[in-house]
Amino acid sequence: MLLPYIYNGIGRSTNYIEQFNVAYSINNKLDQVRVYTPIIPNSYLMVLANKENYKSWQLDLFVNPNGILFQVCSAFAVVLIIMGAIIIMIHIKEKREDSKTGP
């Protein structure tokens, strides 16, 4: 049996959603409630509900990586390259000092 569905959104959020409550009621009596925590911002959620058993409800989370993913990966690569260059420079400097004070 298909349960009713609703499409609802909270807009663009930069923070995690600490609590996401899903409830199913019949005749104004709250029958089944499920709480999911935490939810990733800017994601799509789909709750697969079972009318008989709320413990078997399943939350599917879909994340849509957009253009910012490329920017984050680029910044990460630049930081790694800079840190690697610093480590190599310090290593070369130490080798030179060791060779001057040799045995």
Q: Would you write out the chain's pLDDT as a tens digit for each of its 103 residues? A: 556 666 666 666 677 878 888 777 766 666 677 787 777 777 777 877 776 776 777 878 777 777 677 888 999 999 999 999 999 999 999 999 888 876 6
Report which DSSP code applies to 24. E
**What is the model's pTM?**
0.47
- Does residue 57 share a domain with residue 8? yes
Same domain for 59 and 82: no
Kindly state whether residues 8 and 54 are assigned to the same domain.
yes
Distance CA 61, CA 39 (A): 8
Based on its alpha-carbon atoms, the radius of gyration of the chain, rounded to whole angstroms, reads 26
* 52 and 72 belong to one structural domain: no
Q: Is residue 45 domain-shared with residue 71, that is, in the same domain?
A: no
Q: What gap in Å lies between CA 102 and CA 39, rounded to an integer?
A: 59
Q: What is the domain range of residue 35?
A: 1-64
Q: Specify whether 83 is located in the same domain as 52.
A: no
Domain count, the chain: 2
Helices (H), 24-67: none
Q: Is residue 47 a contact partner of residue 67, using CB atoms and an 8 Å limit?
A: no
Phi, psi (rounded to 5 degrees) for 87: -65, -45
- Looking at the fold, whether 46 and 4 belong to one and the same domain comes out as yes
